[in-house]
Structure formats: structure tokens, C-alpha cells
Copies of this chain bind each other. A is one copy, B any other.
Amino acid sequence: MSGASASKSLGPSAYIVLGLVKLFGPGTSYDLKRWADGSVGYFWSFPRSQLYAEPQRLVALGLLDDQQEQTGRRRRVYRLTPAGQAILTDWLGQPAGFPELRDLGLLKLFFSTQQDGARIRQLATEQLALHQARLTEYERLRAPGMPSAAHPLGMGLLYERATLAFWDEVLAGTADPT
């Protein structure tokens, strides 16, 4: 068997932390937060405090090591260990399963009835604004060397366009019957 402690398969946030450290290099919890906000945070969010708790769990498991500064803030810098590298690589090779589209707007639409026409129009309008803004943001992000659409950002673009089309349709379907 390899050196990595098998534990009982970590949660997704553990792998997010490991992955961020692998991609961006060693860093503090605050660094993790900023990295996440600019990347995976767009489609997988969690509160800041988890980026303090999770690395400590990973240190206890030997998947990260931390080095506490002796000066100033004495903050902890996390670094990937060989075991952490190994377990991350292993995870990357396993099947990913089906994604989940946690969308409160869709839930509300589903639970609304015919009578709720006005409410549905309001919901659709609000969602259109949100997704339009997000799409604009993605298009701005695409600027640099980003070669192909074969990057999570590409999925973001496709998803936002599909969502806009959907809520447009909803709005058209409940056209104000004046």
C-alpha cells in the first residue's frame, strides 16, 4: 500500500483546498479565500471560516503541513505534502459522478402555480438580471490567453446563456395578459 492515509474519503472541500494549494502554491487561509473567489468560487462556494478549519484537518491527516510565521501575524502557511499530492492525484483519476444544480429560483418556479403569474414574472426578471451580470463578468474574464472553451469558464459561459434563454422563455410564457 502507498503512504497516504486512506481515512474515509474526504469531502469535496478537502480536495478543493488541496487542489488550490497545488495550483497556486503554498499559502495562508486568506490566500485560499482569494484564490477560491477568483476561480472555483463561481460554481462552488463555502464560507470563509471553512478555509481555516479544513486545512487544519488536512494537517492532522498529514496531507498538508503548516509553518507558522515567527514574526508579525504568526499566520500559518500551508504546503502540500507528498501524501497530499498523492491523494489528490488519486482523486482526480476517479469518476466524478453527476453534478447538482442547486438553484432556489428553479425550486420556487416549481412550487408556484398558475395563479402566481405576477410572482413568476418578478422571479424571472430578477434571475435574468443576475445571470446577465454574471455572463458579463465571465466574458470579461475570458479576455487573457484563455485559448479554448475547454475550461470551466467555458462551461460557465454556456450555462449562463442557457439560463438566460430559459428565464426569457418563462417570462414569455407568462406574458402580462393585459
Q: Which A residues are within 8 Å of any B CB, using their own CB?
A: 12, 15-16, 19, 22-23, 39-40, 43-45, 88, 91-93, 95-112, 116, 119, 122-123, 126-127, 130, 134, 148-152, 154-155, 158-159, 161-163, 165-166, 169-170, 172-174
A166 with B155: CB separation less than 8 A? yes
Copy number of this protein in the oligomer? 2
On chain B, the residues within 8 Å of A112 by CB distance are 92
Instruction: For A152, give its contact among B110, B149, B173 (CB under 8 Å).
Output: B110
CB-contact partner of A110 in B19, B161, B169, under 8 A: B19
Q: Is A98 within 8 A of B166, CB to CB? A: no
A146 to chain B, nearest CB (A): 12
Residues of B within 8 A of A99 (CB): 101-106, 163
Set of chain B residues within 8 Å of A105, measured between Cβ atoms: 96-97, 99
Contact in complex: B155, A106 (CB < 8 Å): yes
Q: Top 5 closest A-B pairs, CB basis?
A: A99-B103, A150-B173, A19-B111, A96-B105, A158-B162
Could you name 6 residue pairs across A and B whose Cβ atoms are closer than 8 Å? Answer: A39-B110, A97-B105, A99-B104, A99-B163, A101-B159, A150-B166
Give A5 Cβ to nearest chain B Cβ, in Å: 20
Besides A96-B105, A150-B174, 14 more A-B contacts (Cβ < 8 Å) are A39-B110, A40-B110, A43-B101, A43-B103, A43-B106, A44-B100, A44-B102, A91-B108, A95-B123, A96-B126, A98-B134, A99-B106, A101-B155, A149-B166
